[in-house]
Amino acid sequence: MQAPARPIGFSLHPSWVIVLAGVCAALHVGKLPPALPVLQATLEISLVQASFLLSALQIAGMTLGLAVGLAADGIGLRRSMLIGLALLAFASACGGFVSTAPGLLWLRTLEGVGFLLVVMPAPALIRRTVTLQQLNTRMGWWGTYMPAGSALALLCGPWVIAHASWEVWWWLLALLSALAWVAVWRCVPSVLHVSAHANEAWNKRLARTLQTPGAWWVAMAFAVYSSQWMAVIGFLPTVYNGMGLSASTTGLLTAFVALVNVVGNIFSGRLLQRGWPAHVVLMFGYASMALGAFGAFAQWDGWSLPPTLSFICVVLFSAAGGVIPGTLFATAVRVAPSEATVSTVVGYMQQWSAFGQFAGPPLVACVATLVGGWQWTWAVTMSLCGLGFMLAFKIGALLDSPPKVVKVSS
C-alpha cells in the first residue's frame, strides 16, 4: 500500500486532516453538557428535555450507525465527510438562533447524522492515505478524536459561555466545522483508490458485513468498552460533588480524566506497530479498566483508598483503557470483508458503541441506587471487562485463522 501524493501547496498530511475533522465533530458531542445549566435557565428546558438533548446523538448512533456506514461506502468516503461537516456547521449555526427546546432537539438530531457521516468513513480514508507501516500508528491517533473533542469541549465551553453566551459557543463551533470542511476539501485527495467492490449494491455490502464474525466481535468489544467508560466519566462529577469538591474543580478533574484517554489511544498504535497482537492489547486495556475501577470505588466497612490514590486509579482506568478504541479501529480495517465495507463495519461499531453509552450509565446508576452508593461500581465494570476478555480471545482467534470467503446470494 502506497500513500498517495499530497495536494501541492499543503504540508499537512491528509490523514492528520481527517483526524482533526474527527476531533471537530466530537466537539459537537461534548458542547452540550457545559451549556445545559444556561439552556435550562434561558430556554426553560425541563430535566426530561435536557436528558433527550444529551442522548440525541447516542440515539442517532444506535438507530442510524449501520445505515450511515452503508451510505458512506455508497456515496464516497470523502464526499460523506464533507456532507457531515456541512451538516454540523449548518445545524450549529442555526442552533444559536433557536429559542425553543423542540427546535434545539431537531437540530441536535441533525448534528447526530452529521457526526456519523464524518466519523464513519474516516478509518477507510486513513487506510488509503498512509502506508501499511503507518497504519497502526495513525489508527491509534484516530482513536483520540472522541476523548480529545470531549475534553476540549469541557475545558473551553464553560469559558466561552461565561465570557460570551451559549449562542456564541454554538456559532464558534459552526465556524470551526466550516474551516474543517475547507481543510478536508483542499487537503484530502478526491480519488484515492477504487475497490473491486466499490459498486456493490448496499444489500450485498450489508450481508457481507453481518456475515463476517469479526464485525460482530469488534462491535461488541467497543460496546463493552464505551458502556463502562461513559458510565464512570459521566457520573464522575456527581461522585466528586458528593465529596465536597467545587464545581470548577470537578470540571477540571473530569476533563483531565477524559483527556488522558488520548494517551492510551496513541499508545495502542505504538504497541501494534511494535508487533503486539491486537487481542493482547485489548486484554491489557480491559484488565487496566477493571483494576482502575476497583481501586477508585471499592469500599469495605467504610474503608477506601485516599482521594488522591482513588483519582490516580480513575486516571489509570481512562488512560490505559484508551488502548481499546485505537486497537479496535485498527482491527476493524483488517476484519472488514472488503475495502468497500470498512465504513459499514465502523458504522456497526458505532451503533454498538452508542448502545453501550446509552445503556452503561443507567446500569451503574441502578446498582448505585440498590446498594446506596458508588462502592459496587467496580463490580459492574469488572463484569463488563470479563466479557471484553472473551471478545478479545475471539478476535485473536479470528486474526490468527486463515481468511474465509463469504458467499452472498444475489
CA distance 79 to 290: 40
Classify each residue of 71-110 as buried b or exposed e, where b means 16 or more C-beta atoms within 10 Å of its C-beta.
bbbbebbbebbbbbbbbbbbbbbbbbebeebeebbbbbbb
Least-confidence region, from 54-68, 122-136, 294-308, 388-402 = 54-68
Q: How confident is the model at residue 71 (pLDDT cuts 50, 70, 90)?
A: confident
Phi/psi at 308 (5° precision): -65, -45
Looking at residue 2, its pLDDT comes to 44
Looking at residue 191, its pLDDT comes to 55
- Asked whether 338 and 195 are in contact (CB, 8 A), the reply is yes
Looking at residue 223, its pLDDT comes to 94
CA distance 211 to 203: 12
CA distance 81 to 118: 4
CA distance 112 to 53: 11
> 213: buried, middle or exposed (CB in 10 Å: 19+, 13-18, 0-12)?
middle
pLDDT in tens, 120-166: 888 888 888 888 788 888 888 888 888 888 888 888 888 898 898 99
Residue 240 has pLDDT above 50, yes or no: yes
CATH topology of domain 9-188: Growth Hormone; Chain: A; (1.20.1250)
CATH topology of domain 197-401: Growth Hormone; Chain: A; (1.20.1250)
Looking at residue 405, its pLDDT comes to 41
**Which residues make Cβ contacts (< 8 Å) with residue 235, sequence separation at least 6?**
361, 364, 365, 368, 374
Residue 278 has pLDDT above 80, yes or no: yes
The structural domains of the chain, with segments of one domain joined by +, span: 9-188, 197-401
Looking at residue 48, its pLDDT comes to 66
Classify each residue of 163-186 as buried b or exposed e, where b means 16 or more C-beta atoms within 10 Å of its C-beta.
eeebbebbbbbbebbbebbebbee
Residue 104 has pLDDT above 70, yes or no: yes
Helix 323-335 × helix 342-371 angle, to 10°: 140
Q: Do domains 9-188 and 197-401 have the same CATH topology?
A: yes
CA distance 347 to 342: 9
CA distance 168 to 91: 14
Looking at residue 5, its pLDDT comes to 44
- Asked whether 401 and 292 are in contact (CB, 8 A), the reply is no
Residue 199 has pLDDT above 60, yes or no: no
The sign one gets for the Cα dihedral 7, 11, 16, 18 is negative
Q: Which residues does residue 303 pair with via DSSP β-bridges, in sequence order?
A: 300
- Asked whether 82 and 184 are in contact (CB, 8 A), the reply is yes
Looking at residue 45, its pLDDT comes to 75
Q: How confident is the model at residue 269 (pLDDT cuts 50, 70, 90)?
A: confident
- List the alpha helices (DSSP H) in 128-274: 132-142, 145-163, 166-187, 202-210, 213-242, 247-273
pLDDT in tens, 202-236: 778 788 888 888 999 999 999 999 999 888 887 78
- Asked whether 228 and 381 are in contact (CB, 8 A), the reply is yes
